[in-house]
Amino acid sequence: MKTSRVREALLSGARGLYLAVATLAGSITLFVLSVVSIVLIPLGIGVFTTPVVLQMVRSYANARRSQAEAWTGIRIPSPYGRRPGGGQGGVVGQVARCTRLLKDAATWRDLQWLLVDMTAGFIVVIFAPALVLYPVYGWVLALGVWEPIYHAGGGEWYGFIHVDSQTAANGAAVLGTALGVLALFLNPSFVRGHFLLARTLLAPTAAMRERQLAQRVDRLEETRHDAVDSSAAELRRIERDLHDGAQARLVAMGMDLGTIEALVEKDPAKAKQMIAKARQNSGEALTELRDLVRGIHPPVLAERGLGDAVKALALRLPVPTDVDVELAGRAGEPVEAAAYFAVSETLTNAVKYANAERIWVDVHHAEGMLRIAVTDNGRGGAVIGAGSGLSGIERRLGTFDGVLAVSSPVGGPTMVTMEIPCELS
């Protein structure tokens, strides 16, 4: 009980020291950079630097948000909207990005926070390391260090005590001890206080939340539309495949059987020939149905889950593929299916267009996210959009709030990463 309190106080002291240094070094630098960059916008240069700097501010603020959660359990939600992917390149895109950021209320609140963080935030949090280090200094004085300082002409003050004798130095040690005891009780509160202060500016306001919700509704409408569309298209494809494939073959088989019935006595040799044909037709019908089933819901996925389904898929590829799976359980069936088909499509792309010689697939789950990376050493140059298979995958994942990112410089390698929020069971 006692030792845990001491540990807690020391830990808070260390965290406080870290935060104090961060607020001074990070917040001041970023605030100055932001102001300079925004002031330079009329000159043109600012248009290019501002998005970069503001993005840095956001990352910095996000780091503080996650620290708050990790250290004190204070959750500070992020107010930033979803970054629309792509956008135009060149000067026009740059101006658009810059304007978008400057219009975003979150940007201005971030800058306010930087100001508060480097002043009030610093002051609140500096108490934590001070209450740990200052007592130590008191004891050091009492151990005799006061003497050389005093003789060198320094009229040293420890708190309100003028340290000019051993008695006064002992007093300093006593005061230091009292401060140390205070640290035991107050230190965690300083760090908490710092984050609570940060939350007032870093958490989204009601208006921002409302706007976020509105954006979310738009996004859901869009993805629902996509989902309905693509499932209708899927059903149409299945209907057509059944109609032209297995159904037609069964009709042919039925016809053959009728003919066989008529022939079996008149011309047994011919009948036997037709039986062989009917059997072949039934075999082909089964093959077609099997392929169709694989396209609807792969059997291995149903039997074993995502990890083994991806492994089985890799074994079917003509290109050597390493699969690394780290899943502690199974995701929901719809998520598994979406992830499977996304991987399948990505692998097909890698084989068909990228001319890859080797492919690596990594599937793992961490922090409520299913993360899949497909890397190939092909020729690269893949882009999302323009009717590529990748935008189809993006839409498919969108239904599950999943995202797709592609890094594919010309000449390769190509790395496609997908993230789908989900829980494992």
Partner 1 sequence: MRVVLAEDLFLLRDGLVRMLEAFDFEIAAAVETGPELSKALAELDPDVAVVDVRLPPSHTDEGLQCALAARRARPGLPVLVLSQHVEQLYARELLADGNGGVGYLLKDRVFDAEQFIDAVRRVAAGGTAMDPTVIQQLLSRRAADQPLGALTPREREVLELMAQGRSNAAIASQLVVTERAIAKHTSNIFAKLGLPVSDDDNRRVLAVLAYLDQGR
CB of 133 to partner 1, least distance (A): 60
Counting contacts by CB under 8 A, is residue 302 touching partner 1?
A: yes
Q: How far apart are CA 318 and CA 278, in angstroms?
A: 33
| By the rule CB under 8 A, 300 interacts with partner 1 | yes
Q: Which residue from 144, 283, 385, 409 is in contact with partner 1, where contact means CB under 8 A?
A: 283
Closest CA to 183 of 130, 121, 142: 130
Per the CB < 8 A criterion, the answer to whether 19 and 194 are in contact is: yes
Can you tell me the distance from the alpha carbon of 361 to that of 321, in angstroms, rounded to the nearest whole number? 7
In the set 84, 148, 153, 318, which binds partner 1 (CB under 8 A)?
A: 318
State how beta strands 403-407 and 321-326 pair: unpaired
Find the shortest distance in angstroms from Cβ 358 to partner 1. Answer: 11
Which residues, at least 6 apart from 342, have a Cβ–Cβ distance to it below 8 Å? 372, 393, 396, 397, 402, 404, 418
| Contact flag: residue 358 with partner 1 (CB under 8 A) | no
Stretch of residues binding partner 1 (CB under 8 A), selected from 76-84, 92-100, 137-145, 290-298: 290-298
Cα–Cα nearest to 164, from 141, 140, 135, 180:
141
Q: Using CB under 8 A, count the residues that bind partner 1.
A: 21
Q: Does 279 sit near partner 1 (CB under 8 A)?
A: yes
- Cβ atoms of 134 and 13 within 8 Å: the answer is no
> Which 3 state secondary structure label does DSSP give 383?
coil
Name which of 281 and 399 has its Cβ closer to partner 1.
281
- Cβ(204)–Cβ(106) under 8 Å? yes
Residue found by looking up tokens 């991987």 in the block: 343
Q: Which of 277, 304, 364, 379 contacts partner 1 by CB under 8 A? A: 304
- What is the phi-psi region of residue 263: left when phi exceeds 0, alpha when psi lies from -120 to 50, beta otherwise? alpha
Coil, strand, or helix at residue 411? coil
Provide the β-strand partners of residue 360.
Answer: 322, 375
Instruction: Out of 140, 263, 312, 373, name the contact with partner 1 by CB under 8 A.
Output: 312
* Minimum distance, C-beta of residue 263 to partner 1, in the bound complex (Å): 21
Q: Is 213 in the site for partner 1 (CB under 8 A)?
A: no
Which tokens sit at 171?
A: 């007093």
- DSSP E strand boundaries for 318-368: 321-326, 359-366
- Examine residue 294 and tell whether it contacts partner 1 (CB under 8 A): yes
Q: Should residue 303 be labelled a site residue for partner 1 when binding is judged by CB under 8 A? A: yes
Q: What is the closest distance, in whole angstroms, from the C-beta atom of residue 397 to partner 1 in the complex? A: 25
CB-nearer residue toward partner 1: 309 or 416:
309
Least distance (Å) between residue 269 CB and partner 1:
20
From candidates 77, 85, 144, 299, binder to partner 1 by CB under 8 A: 299
Cα–Cα distance, 58 to 26 (Å, whole number): 12
Binding of partner 1 by 162 (CB under 8 A): no
Question: Residue 230 Cβ, how far from partner 1 at the closest point, in Å?
Answer: 24
Tokens 């492919």 identify what position? 359
- Binding segment (CB under 8 A) for partner 1, from list 119-127, 149-157, 275-283, 355-363: 275-283
In eight-state DSSP terms, residue 205 is: P
- Residue placing its CB nearer to partner 1 in the complex, 167 or 273: 273
> Of the candidates 282, 377, 391, 417, which one interacts with partner 1 according to CB under 8 A?
282
Q: Does 254 bind partner 1 (CB under 8 A)?
A: no
CA distance 332 to 324: 20
Shortest CB 185 distance to partner 1, Å: 56
Q: Nearer to partner 1 by C-beta: 308 or 362?
A: 308
Reduced to 3 states (helix: H, G, I; strand: E, B; else coil), residue 360 is strand
| 3-state SS class at 64 | helix
| Amino acid letter, 378 | G
| C-beta closer to partner 1: residue 239 or 291 | 291
Decide whether 74 or 323 has the Cβ nearer to partner 1.
323
325 binds partner 1 (CB under 8 A): no
What residues pair up with 325 in beta bridges, in sequence order?
Answer: 363
Residue 290 in the binding site for partner 1 (CB under 8 A) = yes
In angstroms, give the least distance from the CB of 416 to partner 1.
22
* Residue 286 binds partner 1 (CB under 8 A): yes
Burial class (CB in 10 A: 0-12, 13-18, 19+), 340: buried
Residues making contact with partner 1 (CB under 8 A): 279, 282-283, 286-287, 290, 293-294, 299-300, 302-304, 308, 311-312, 315-318, 320
